[in-house]
Amino acid sequence: MPENSAPNTKHGGEWTIAWRLVVLAAAAINVAMLLAALFVAQIRGLDAWIFYRDPSAAAGVGFYTGWISSLGASLWIGSGAATLFAGLLTRRWDCTFLGGLTLLLGLDDLLLIHEDVLPIVGIPEIVPMIAYAGAGLFWFFRLRRKTFDGTIIFVAAG
């Protein structure tokens, strides 16, 4: 192996560990989602395939139904995951926090968590909204020096 390959560099071992953790997390999330879908299908008496079909196909509506919403959620999730990963690798708390928050908001948007899922278990829609507002205010006041260095323009645009 060449001397300047990734495992032999200063942070190469950390990258190897990080990628292994990403693969392990992805596999664990997929298994957890499969088990959750099977569990809910069993409890509700549903066909488990309903969880794996595209929503527009399952509802029998046009392919364009919800296209913009899905695209937006995909962008939220992608940018949140990238920011979270970068924050973890660089050990920057602000990137890690904002990446995690963005990822959570994207998943909430895609899966309709605060609109449909939480009310089923008795949690009103206002509760996650207050939590999201609290997280945003926490970030704003905790990192206000960084907020006003020009970053606020990008946050406001988002």
Q: Provide block-wise average pLDDT over 10 residues at a time, the chain (158 residues).
A: 54 72 90 90 86 84 88 92 88 87 92 88 92 88 66 58
Q: Is-contact 80 99, C-beta < 8 A?
A: yes
pLDDT on residue 1? 45
Q: Is-contact 17 25, C-beta < 8 A?
A: no
pLDDT on residue 58? 82
Give the tokens for residue 82: 């990238």
What SS3 class is residue 91? coil
Residue 56: partners with Cβ closer than 8 Å, 6 or more residues away: 62, 63, 64, 65, 66
Closest CA to 95 of 146, 21, 150, 153: 146
Closest CA to 85 of 77, 94, 95: 95
Query: CA-CA distance, 46 to 135, in Å (whole number)?
Result: 36
The whole-model pTM stands at: 0.67
pLDDT on residue 130? 94
Indicate if the alpha-carbon torsion angle 14, 16, 17, 18 is positive or negative: positive
Q: What angle do CA 94, 117, 76 make, to 5 degrees?
A: 35
